[in-house]
Amino acid sequence: MFPRCLSRTVLGTSISLIYRRPHTTRIPFNVAGIYPPIATPFTENEQVDYGKLQANLLHYREIPFRGFVVQGSNGEYAYLTKEERVEVVRRVREVVPKEKLIMAGSGCESTQATIQMTLEMAKSGADAVLVVTPSYYKGKMTSSALVHHYIKVADHSPVPVVLYSVPANTGLDLPVDAIITLSQHPNIVGLKDSGGDITRIGLIIHKTKQSGFQILAGSAGFLLAGYSVGAVGGVCALANVLGAQVCELERLCINNHWQEAQELQHRLIEPNTAVTRKFGIPGLKQAMEWFGFHGGFCRSPLLPLTEQEINELRNVFTNNGWL
C-alpha cells in the first residue's frame, strides 16, 4: 500500500501529513507508576560501561518500579552516538524482566531522524518511546509545527508515544493547546511534564482525561502535587538514588495517606533539587555512588563535581536524613 497524503487543519493551520501506518483506535496502554530515567555510566576514558549499567539494573530489581526510562535527559543521550543510544536500549532490554516497561528516548531535532530512531528503539525492545520537543529552532516551534512533528512520529511508530516537555533543557514548553490536540491521537498515550507548573498539569489532565491520556510528573520534587491533580506516576531522576523512597511516596499518594506523603515529600525536595537543577548529572552520579549504585564518570563536556560541591551535596542528603 502506498502512503496516503492528507491535509488536516490543526490549530488553524492546514498541514499535510504522510500516513504510512495509520492508527485508528487507541490500544489501552497503562503507564502508571514510577520510572527512574537511568543514568549511563561511563568509564574513565568515556566509553559506555555496560557492566556497571547491568549491575545497576540488577540492583533496581529490588525496587517496585513500573519500568525504566532509557536515554532520557539523565542518560546523557545528547552526548551518545546513534549507535550507542540504540545499543544501550538493547542491553537494558536483555536484563530487565518483560513485565517492566522500557520507555526509550527517541527524540531528535528533525522529524525524519526521530522516526528513524523510534523504529530503531522499538526494534531494540522498547515498549514505548519518549519523544522530547525539537528545540534548536525554537522560534519556529509553534503549536502547529509541533503537532505536525508528533503526528508524523506517532503515525510511523510501532509502539506507543509519550510526549516529553522539559523546558529547562529545551527552552520551550510544549503548548497546552498542542497537547490537547495530540491527546486525541490513538498512538499518543501520555505526557512527561518536567516543567513543574501544577496549574498547567492540572489543566492538561482536565482537558484530556476523556481520551484516556496519562500524565507523568517529571520530577520527584512535585510528585505529590502531581498525584493530587491526577497524574498517574512519575519519571524522577531522584529515583536513581532513592528509588524505594520515591516508590513509597507513590504508594502513600494512591492510598490517600496524604499526611505521611507530605512528610516524605518534604524530605525529598532538597535532594531532588540537588541532583537536578543545582548539580545536574554529575551530582546525580555522585549520589548514586553513596547509595550502592554505579554512577560512573560523565562524558565531556560535563565535569565531575569539585570537592566543595561534593560536600554541599552530601550535606543536603545528610540534613534530610538520608545519609
Catalytic residue annotation: 164, 192
> Are the beta carbons of 95 and 108 closer than 8 angstroms?
no
Count of alpha carbons within 13 angstroms of residue 257, beta-carbon side: 11
Query: DSSP labels for 132-192?
Result: EPP-TTGGG--HHHHHHHHHHHHHH-SS-EEEEE-HHHHS-PPPHHHHHHHTTSTTEEEEE
- DSSP annotation of 89: H
d(CA 281, CA 39): 8
> Omega of the bond prior to 301 within 30 degrees of 0, cis?
yes
235 assigned to a ligand binding site: yes
Distances (CA, A) of 293 to 39, 41, 60, 61: 10, 10, 9, 12
Count of alpha carbons within 13 angstroms of residue 289, beta-carbon side: 14
- DSSP annotation of 277: I
Strands 13-19 and 4-10: antiparallel
Burial of 59 (0-12, 13-18, 19+ CB in 10 A): middle
In the annotated binding site, the residues are 235
In the annotated binding site for pyruvate, the residues are 235
